[in-house]
Amino acid sequence: MKMGGFMKKRVMIGMSGGVDSSVAAYLLKEQGYDVIGVFMKLWDGEAEREKACCSLSAVEDARMVAEKIGIPFYVLNMRDVFKEKVVDYFVDEYLNGKTPNPCIACNKHIKFDAFLKKAQMLECDYVATGHYSKVEHDSESGRYLLKKSDTDEKDQTYALYNMTQYQLERTLLPLGNYNKDQIREIAAKIGLVTANKPDSQEICFVEDDDYYRFIKEYSQKDIPCGDFVDKNGKVLGKHRGIVKYTVGQRKGLGIALGKPAYVVGINAKKNQVIIGDNEDVFKKGLIAKDFNLIYCDEIEDGMTVYAKVRYSAKAKKANIYKIGRDKVKIVFENAERAITPGQSVVIYKGDYVFGGGIIEKAI
């Protein structure tokens, strides 16, 4: 399709039925792109919850938005790859005493890999999502960079650190210059059905937010009880299965020690949950694997960065060291709370994502 003498760039946008992706699709069309709206069918749950990302109502909301803004709309079946790369991974990690982030796995394997490949099959130039982040091209280095959104509270770069140069070059993130209130105002102004739709908070494939029930039913494995132990291995009581616990947890332990007790570690091989005091939850550093660099080609050993160990955490001052292929050591200026194996650490240089990886262990 030509526009003003130039070929109109085609973009395939993932539409979830939420307000963010709805407005992202509208903004792209307003910017002159040839936009195709696609709903990714990822999961069939037992209950079609109203707020679930793959519910029938979510599909219909996305379809109505596409019709309203005048773009074609399709539903794409991506259940198999989602099951393999996200759900199986989520369950396996929990059974091995880790605390995974399935949204990060979904972005890595689904939205910016499998989805991008589908878009290219349809001769699209770009894919797009409703993430609050920015992609910039640095003319000096020739690299594509991932930058924080204008509003820190909505910034979603933490979940996008796995993106490659190839993917960044072919990705549009139109919401990076907006805050949530502005997005809702745009949606209301143009009469989108999703304008006041609440944000989804839970993991999309765990219908009732009960991880233990889901993991037990999905894996069809018994999740045995085991021992609570202290740092020296002394047995303190019985736990109800390691998937019920995560590092830093205090509530719901079901153990009375006469003082506040915290989970400070999980030993899956011995089926033990290690209990300690609040100060034991703080660690000076971590080892991360599968580290993906975005900002540059090489890590300058000992360089100062800011590191974030969970989505909701603030980035803290640290030094980074390369210790192997795709593996780094990060040492914080001040001890950091609840560094959790299975979660991700994301490194920042100013407003830009330097890189990130999966936390292997705290040190």
Alpha helices in 107-171 (DSSP H): 115-121, 165-169
Q: Give the model's confidence band at 53: pLDDT under 50 very low, under 70 low, under 90 confident, else very high.
A: low
Binding-site residue set: 14-21, 40, 130
Looking at the fold, whether 185 and 70 belong to one and the same domain comes out as: yes
Structural domain includes residue 1: no
Task: Indicate whether 272 and 287 sit together in one domain.
Answer: no
**Given a cut of 60, is residue 49 above it in pLDDT?**
no
What pLDDT score was predicted for residue 73? 98
The answer to whether the beta carbons of residues 24 and 174 sit under 8 Å apart is: yes
Q: Which of 53, 204, 225, 296 is catalytic?
A: 204
**Do residue 68 and residue 155 come from a single domain?**
yes
- Of 167, 190, 213, which residue sits at a domain end? 190
Are 267 and 290 contained in the same domain?
no
Structure tokens at 336: 């950091």
Q: How confident is the model at residue 152 (pLDDT cuts 50, 70, 90)?
A: confident
In a domain, 207, yes or no: no
- Is the domain of 231 the same as that of 138? no
Q: What is the CATH number of the domain that holds 334?
A: 2.40.30.10
In the prediction, which pLDDT does 52 show? 53
| Structural domain of 311 | 283-362
- Per-residue model confidence (pLDDT) at position 5: 42
Is residue 333 pLDDT above 60, yes or no? Answer: yes
Span 251-280, pLDDT tens digits: 989 898 989 999 999 999 999 999 999 999
Q: Domain for residue 206, yes or no?
A: no
Tell whether the model's pLDDT for residue 43 goes beyond 70. Answer: yes
Instruction: Say yes or no to pLDDT of 237 above 50.
Output: yes
pTM, two decimal places = 0.92
Q: Is the per-residue pLDDT at 4 higher than 80?
A: no
Q: Are residues 357 and 265 in the same domain?
A: no
The amino acid at 84: E
Is residue 105 domain-shared with residue 39, that is, in the same domain?
A: yes
Q: Please state, rounded to an integer, the average pLDDT across all residues of the chain.
A: 93
For residue 1, pLDDT beyond 50: no
Percentage of the chain beyond pLDDT 70 is 94
Shared-domain flag, residues 166 and 27: yes
Q: What is the pLDDT of residue 260?
A: 92
Gap between the Cα atoms of 117 and 84, Å rounded: 17
Annotated binding site for ATP: 14-21, 40, 130
State the total domains in the chain.
3
Q: Which structure tokens are listed for 5?
A: 């003498």
We report the CATH number of the domain holding residue 79 as: 3.40.50.620
| CA–CA separation, 101 and 327 (whole Å) | 19
**Model pLDDT for residues 163-195, shown as the tens digit of each residue:** 999 999 999 999 999 999 999 999 999 999 988
Query: For 11-28, what is each residue's pLDDT tens digit?
Result: 999 999 999 999 999 999
Q: What is the mean pLDDT of residues 94-115?
A: 96
More confident residue, 208 or 84: 84
Q: Is residue 212 part of a domain?
A: no
pLDDT score recorded for residue 3: 44
**Domain finish residue from 235, 258, 276:** 276
Residue 53 known to be catalytic: no
Spot the catalytic one: 106, 124, 225, 296: 106
205 pLDDT more than 60: yes
Closest residue by Cα to residue 124 from 65, 72, 165, 81: 72
In order of 76, 164, 308, 346, the CA distances from 300 in angstroms are: 42, 20, 19, 16
Q: Looking at residue 219, what is its pLDDT? A: 96
